[in-house]
Amino acid sequence: MLRKPHCWTHTFDCGNLSIRAAPELSALHTPRKPPMRPFLLFAALLFSGAVFSTRATAELQERPNILWLVSEDNNPFLGAYGDTFANSPTLDKLAKQGVLFERCFAQPVCAPSRFALITGMHSVSCGPAGHMRAQGKIPAWLHGFPSLLRAAGYFATNNAKTDYNSPIDPAQTWDESGKSAHYLRRPDPKQPFFSVFNDETTHESCLFPAESPVDGFEPTPPHKVRIPPYQPDTPEIRADWARYYDRIRLMDSHVAEKLEQLEKSGLAADTIVFYYGDNGGVLPRSKRFLQKSGTHVPLIVYFPPKWRHLAPAAPGSRISDPVSFVDFGATVLSLAGVKIPDYIQGRAFAGPAKGEPNEFVYCTRDRMDERYDMIRSVMDKRWLYIRNYRPDLNYVQPLAYMFKARGYQSWARVAREGKLTTETAMFWGEKPAEELYDMSSDPDNVRNLASVEACRTTLERMRAALLSHTLAVVDNGFIPEGSALEGYDASRRPGAYPLERVVELANLASERNPIHLPRFIAALEDNNEAMRWWAAQGCAMLRERATPAQPALLKHLGDASWPVRLTSADALARLGQWDVARPIFEEGLAQTGVGAVVLQTANILAQLGEAARPVLPAMKAAIGTDASERQSEGNRAEQYAKRYPKDLLTHTVDELEGRVQRLSYPSRSDKK
């Protein structure tokens, strides 16, 4: 029998919500005045019509407080979501007294996901924000939505994540942001607040070997956990599942502490509480991937009796309409009575400005850390459609950070041993161009129905929904990273980015059918960089079947665009033309001051594997020996931009010189 943690001793009442929690609360600093709001910000908000006239204090008191409790990297492994193995009493109680959203979907990794939360916009609207660790080029008028709450009289705090994948300024967004930020520090105790607390208990790193065990609980027995069919049943994966359930139990107790603190402060009756996970879980084939296991997150919203008229449904209700993170900012503004700006791409799901339910929600994957990929997905209440724009790239790439987890290491071992089943091999090796899953009958997403004739109507409907969304948000993911076309303003400049034509060409490229080669050869002469880039990618993905394109590819080794130049060299290298490709790669590795060029070169060489051996000396030279470069000053995106190429090149060199084993991949029957 599992014992309760010894610290749970008090009972408190949050409206009608009774939860047990820890009595020990950390001391808070003396309240201080919030930083002065920049005049330019206020002027911009006033000009946009977002600022309401000043309210009297009595009127401000009649607005709800809003509290976000965020757990990192977890799926809905909670009793409230039907997981009978989970031990989550606090969140289960919150769900019984609040509203549970059965289909909340997030971006599959933190920084693009947080971009959507802070802006109410899809990260791919402001390239390169769709990539992990990047600086999205946002329009000058875009600020984090909490600044609109501040202008309307709210006190806004963030504890403590600010990796927004963009230059959004925390000082303009929050009254307080950092480890000590707290709603109890507001200067006027009657001032309404919006506060965010991020709990890192369930973060991916909790599965790394150096992590200590969870205190206060009996460990979850690994032999009792359910291993989904897409994962191999290895001791390491069982241990990861067991540990993850332990961490969820611990996170649940932290939520209880936050709710007790709210109650003891006398603010519970006036506070709407959101609990959600910031992106999909961290067990293999979850975080970073667009299957349901990578994007489905818990969302529970509790409305105290005073504010239940703002709720979308009665206490204890379960809402099946899909929602996503672009809806969160709109919803908070709606609950606070603040006008939702037109630029926000989401819909409020509660409050007076509640919109019509979403029919579809959308997720994206682009570069994850040091390795590129490009995947898009769309979901409704039942179906999940995935479009792989780089199906030639293996689903599992050996990302340095991801492969710290023993589960991934054991999966690679099973793959090398040739012991993968049909289901566990689906996530290993190259990808089909399209995937379609029935999330109701196949929640593990192991039966791809994209080629099933009976599902063709559904496939076409989901495909059309994705295309419509791609055009509506001006998806910048079809632009090579580092291009002048990237960014909200640049990509929307008339005539600069012919997105409809680009998407059509990208769809043909992802099919890997040589019948389209004449289209690629013709598109190589297009005036637009994105068109030429996708034409070259189409040739590279065809490999030896692209032989007729050699003259055109040779011509573009001198293209003005580095991505086009490199991808043309990639296609020629795959045709055995190393004498002309090698100088391009060596020159690319030397472009240390030209945006993403070195990283793009390193990715191509990593994919070429043993064939890239002629460039080995240039790779070693590009890695260098100055370790201080990894600790360079600047923002996180700049730091990672220098680190990622070196990490990837080091791994590739180690593979070529036999210090690490290259991942082995099984053949796939559905590969085109």
What positions carry a catalytic annotation?
110
Under 8 Å between Cβ of 251 and 74? yes
In the chain, the N- to C-terminal Cα span, in Å, equals 51
Distance CA 398, CA 390 (A): 16
Helix (H, G, I), strand (E, B) or coil at 466: helix
What is the rounded CA–CA span in Å between residue 445 and residue 385?
Answer: 11
Helices H / strands E in the chain, number of each = 22, 17
Structure token digits, residue 78: 């909670």
**552 vs 556: CA distance, rounded Å:** 7
In order of 29, 117, 191, 598, the CA distances from 183 in angstroms are 11, 19, 10, 44
CA angle, 351 then 357 then 363, to 5°: 110
Residue 176's beta-bridge partner residues? 157
- For residue 649 the two structure tokens come to 């090149």
Q: Are 435 and 386 in contact (CB under 8 A)?
A: yes
C-beta separation of 361 from 392 below 8 A? no
CA nearest neighbour of 63 among 276, 243, 310? 310
Decide: residue 616, CB within 10 A, 0-12 exposed, 13-18 middle, 19+ buried.
Answer: middle
Which tokens hold the place of 407? 């589960």
Are 162 and 201 a contacting pair, CB within 8 Å?
no
| Share in percent of the chain as helix, strand, coil (round to 5) | 45, 10, 45
Question: How many Å is the maximal CA-CA distance in the chain?
Answer: 77
Residue 297 neighbours by CB under 8 Å, 6+ apart:
74, 75, 76, 104, 105, 106, 276, 277, 278, 279, 280
Contact 459, 450 (CB under 8 A): yes
For 260-294, letters b (16+ CB in 10 Å) and e give bbbbeeebbbbbbbbbbbbbbbbbbbbbbbbbbbb
User: Would you give the distance in Å from CA 644 to the centre of its chain?
Assistant: 18
The position carrying tokens 């492969």 is 403
Cα(374)–Cα(367) distance, integer angstroms: 7
Contact 314, 110 (CB under 8 A): no
Q: Where are the alpha helices (DSSP H) in 313-455?
A: 326-336, 406-416, 422-425
Give the separation between CA 285 and CA 427, rounded to whole angstroms: 7
In sequence order, the β-bridge partners of residue 19 are 12
**Strands of the sheet with 383-388, listed across from one edge:** 361-365, 375-379, 383-388, 434-438
Rounded to whole angstroms, the Cα distance separating 486 from 644 reads 20
Residue type, 272: I
Output the six-digit token pair for 566.
């490199």
Give the span between the Cα atoms of 265 and 284, in whole angstroms: 41
